[in-house]
Amino acid sequence: MGTTASNAPQPSVIDSLNDAPISFFHLRAAFTAGMGFFTDAYDLFIIGSALVYIKPEWHLGNDQIAFLGSISLIAAFLGAIIFGRLADVVGRKRIYGLEALLMAIGALACAFAPSFIWLLVFRVVLGIGIGGDYP
């Protein structure tokens, strides 16, 4: 803690945040962060349940199942690197909107994927969007 000319301790940023009254902004920020985490987790882990139905429908082999189950995690790694740097350059708020849009497009496209290859491509798009949510 620093001191002022009168030797009174100056509050730290954390103290200021802890002492701030709860406002609509705080509630909206907590809701937005919670929904971001929920959609990330849902989109990454729903594929395990979906593959139970997709495997017999599209006659997928074990290699294809493994690839579908892991491709979004690999893409999330890439998305975190790409969007993390972009967020540093253009700002986190703008990037959050872009990656949220990318996640929504990827999730909807996955729902309507007509084949294994398209589902794989859309899971990559979804994973990159999810990775962008982490930074």
Burial of 17 by CB count in 10 Å (0-12 exposed, 13-18 middle, 19+ buried)? exposed
Q: Are 114 and 95 in contact (CB under 8 A)?
A: no
Q: Are 4 and 11 in contact (CB under 8 A)?
A: no
Q: Residue 128: inside a domain, yes or no? A: yes
pLDDT reported for residue 46: 87
Q: Residue 100: inside a domain, yes or no? A: yes
Residue type, 102: L
Structural domains counted in the chain:
1
Residues of the domain holding 42: 37-133
Q: Rounded to 10 degrees, what is the CA torsion of 67, 69, 71, 74?
A: -120
Per-residue tens of pLDDT for the chain, all 135 residues? 555 555 767 777 677 767 778 888 878 878 877 777 777 788 888 888 999 999 999 999 999 999 999 999 999 999 999 999 998 899 888 888 888 889 889 999 999 999 999 999 999 999 999 998 887
Whichever domain contains 61, its CATH number is 1.20.1250.20
Q: Are 82 and 125 in contact (CB under 8 A)?
A: no
Q: Residue 59: inside a domain, yes or no? A: yes
Alpha-carbon Rg for the chain, nearest whole angstrom, is 21
pLDDT reported for residue 4: 53
Q: Residue 110: inside a domain, yes or no? A: yes
Instruction: Report the number of secondary-structure helices (H) and strands (E) in the chain.
Output: 5, 0
